[in-house]
Structures are given as structure tokens and as C-alpha cells.
Amino acid sequence: LRTVEVRGRYESARRLRSTIGSVFRYAIATARADTDPTSALRGALIRPTVTPRAAITDPKALGGLLRAIESFDGQPATRAALKLMALLFPRPGELRAAEWDEFDFKTSVWTIPEARMKMRRPHRVPLSRQAVCILAELRKISEIGTLLFPSVRSAARPISDNTLNAALRRMGYSKNEATAHGFRATASTLLNECGKWHPDAVERQLAHIENNNVRRAYARAEHWEERARMMQWWADYLEKIENAGRRG
């Protein structure tokens, strides 16, 4: 653990301690070990510093970003990925590794498998009309395969975690102005501020992990119908602020 920690990978060290602890607890349960040595390390490892990701929450500035994405002259698939990040606001890794069989176009739902979810349970995302159109266009340019966003080097691997942020830098946005992960904060802020949607519906769509037991119990409610309406409203709203700048 110290070997990992001295490299500055504090979060990795904490996760590794948790994994090792799980192994030892299983060993104790199966009479293969007497104690869990990681229990003595609780609080001993350096806590990682949480740095908020840059996000644009001003509607006018957001409209400018959306127009910049629309005119992006890089890979069409990268442009499509950024549009979907804005519309659906998943975690970047959840979108980068998305596969076509996760999408049900009859019901307009994207189901992200638990293996890619931070909360380790499947997550459903209602697809707006705009998102479905982008996916349809993406399907036309994608090579035959399982991934929506295959790497240019290998169709069996998704684009790298730096691809989307690199595209934002190419558009002129610094890391202190916009990030791929920041689309989540953008949606969270504006959806909550508009006052049209229940906060739990917003949180459920963001797939946030609830730390409070009472809040976690309430979060079990899917709020599905409200989320579907909310996602279409959000897509219409983004379309509106994007087009407003063009008229101006």
C-alpha cells in the first residue's frame, strides 16, 4: 500500500486497502486466516484531495460551448460523444465504453451495466429525441462492432479517457473552464435551479451515491416518469440556448 501511496495515487491505495480487506474477511470466514491486518490501517492512509471539475453553469456561456461542439472539426464520433455528454450527463467512462446492445431504441432507454457504474448497480437513462437522432447518425459512421466510440487504433477498445477533454482544449476551453465530467455539474446546477424537478429525480438521474441512510431509502424510488420528462425538457433547453446565440 505504501508503494502505491508514495507515487501519489492516494485513492488507488485506499481502494486497494478495501479490496485486500475483503479478501482477508473472506479468508477469516472460511477459516483460512485469523485476522484482517487492514483493519489497523483505517485512517492511516493519506486522503486524496478532492478537486472540483470545472463546469459551465451560466446559460449564455453554456450555449457558446454547445455551438463550439457543433462546429468542432475533429473526429465526428468525438463531436457526437460531447453532444451526448451534454444531453445525458453520464460519467465520461460510462459513455466512452458504451456498447450498442445497451440501447433500446423502441423504448428510448440506455441501460448502463453495473460493471461500469460507480454505485455498482445498473442505471437507466431516458433518451430524448435529440439523443436518439445523434445516436442514429453515429451508427452510420461507426464501424461494425460493439462499441459506440472505438479507438482509432483498435475497434475492440474505446476511446481514451483523455479524448473528450483534449477536444475541449482544442476548442479553446482550458481545464479551469470546462471538462467532460463537468457536464454533470452543469446539468445538476441548472436542473435544480430551474425549480421544475424534484431534487431526488435529479440525483437519481445523476446516479449519485447517497451516504445518508434515510436519503438512500428515498433514493430507491426511480422517479422514472419524471426523469423521462426531465431529460426531454433538458434536451429542448440545451437546443434553445444553443440556437439563441446564433440568432444574436
Q: Which of 120-124, 219-223, 224-228, 243-247 has the lowest mean pLDDT?
A: 219-223
Per residue in 40-85, pLDDT (tens digit) is 877 777 665 545 678 999 999 999 999 999 999 999 999 999 999 9
The β-bridge relationship of strands 123-126 and 103-104 is unpaired
26 an active-site residue?
A: no
Reduced to 3 states (helix: H, G, I; strand: E, B; else coil), residue 80 is: helix
Contacts of 137 (CB under 8 A, 6+ apart): 80
Domain ranges of the chain: 2-41, 59-247
Per residue in 129-140, pLDDT (tens digit) is 999 999 999 998
If one compares 212 and 226, the residue with the highest pLDDT of the two is 226
Q: At what angle do helices 224-247 and 182-193 cross, to 10 degrees?
A: 100
Please report, rounded to a whole number, the percentage of residues in the chain having pLDDT higher than 70.
87
118 an active-site residue?
A: yes
Look at the domain 59-247 and name its fold.
hpI Integrase; Chain A (1.10.443)
Contact between 187 and 206 (Cβ < 8 Å): yes
Q: Which of 184, 204, 223, 227 is catalytic?
A: 184
Answer whether residue 213 shows pLDDT above 60.
no
Q: Which of 7, 32, 60, 118 is catalytic?
A: 118
Q: Which of 91, 123, 124, 204 is catalytic?
A: 91
237 an active-site residue?
A: no
91 an active-site residue?
A: yes
Distance CA 28, CA 40 (A): 16
Q: What is the mean pLDDT of residues 157-176?
A: 93
Average pLDDT, the chain: 87
